[in-house]
Amino acid sequence: MGIAAATTDTKLDLATASILIVGDRASEQDIIIQMLMGFGVTNIQRQTSAENALKAGASQVFDLVFVDSGASGEDAYDFIKAVRRHADLRFKFVPIVLSCGHMRRSDLFKARDCGASFVVTKPLSPQVLFDRIIWLAKDKRQFVECETYSGPDRRIKSFGPPMGMKGRRKDDLSEHVGAAKEANLSQDAVDDFFSSKKVSL
């Protein structure tokens, strides 16, 4: 059973998962691979360029894609956007974890708006990685496609009225990301951003 198939009523068997790691830093890839192997994952593929990773996605089914923010000197955000517009639907809908060394709130919005399923900050611990994989396995967000966005529903924290209706919250589906003005966010702050909240409408 793949990662996306897990529910609260089933056991998550990572031994059957296929994971793609995209990044140009071999040492960091090695660390992630060691963690994943410790979770029982045996089918791990690494790619050092976005181009090769997109080709791999067209020829093999992956349950999870792990992207380093500095992947091969290319924009990891653009790579994630390319995955979300990919012709192969199996790759298009794959959960994507973006790893960042320095995370500002503007980066978090940018990651969300390009289609990342979740963000983790470095240095990454095995416990954090495992917990986030479990979170993704239980993630039931709808996949949204429109002219300006393709990816998991971004309205996690604030579920406002439908687009175009009076009272829509400005931070529901932000399209513009300005210059960074804030300090690096902790993993707890990132987790809080991606966690569902009860809101009043």
How far are the Cα atoms of 47, 146, 160, 163, 172 from residue 64, in angstroms, in the given order?
14, 23, 29, 30, 26
CATH at 150: 3.40.50.2300
Judge whether 200 lies within some domain: no
Judge whether 123 lies within some domain: yes
Count the domains in the chain: 1
Section 63-83 average pLDDT:
82
CA–CA distance, 169 with 76 (Å, rounded to integer): 28
Q: What are phi and psi of 56, to 5 degrees?
A: -65, -40
Neighbours of 12 (CB within 10 A): 21
Neighbours of 38 (CB within 10 A): 12
Instruction: Output the pTM of the full model.
Output: 0.72
Q: What is the pLDDT of residues 121-172, one digit of tens each?
A: 888 899 999 999 998 988 888 899 988 899 998 875 544 444 555 544 444 4
pLDDT at 79 over 60: yes
Judge whether 81 lies within some domain: yes
Q: Which of 40-44, 97-101, 104-108, 114-118 has the lowest mean pLDDT?
A: 104-108
pLDDT at 184: 63
Judge whether 189 lies within some domain: yes
Domain that holds residue 88: 3-194
Judge whether 13 lies within some domain: yes
Q: What is the pLDDT of residues 8-18, one digit of tens each?
A: 444 677 999 99
Q: pLDDT over 70 for what percent of the chain?
A: 72
DSSP state, residue 190: H
CA–CA distance, 151 with 35 (Å, rounded to integer): 27
pLDDT at 89 over 60: yes
How far does the chain reach from its first CA to its final CA, in angstroms?
A: 37
What are the residues facing 22 on neighbouring strands?
47, 67
Judge whether 199 lies within some domain: no
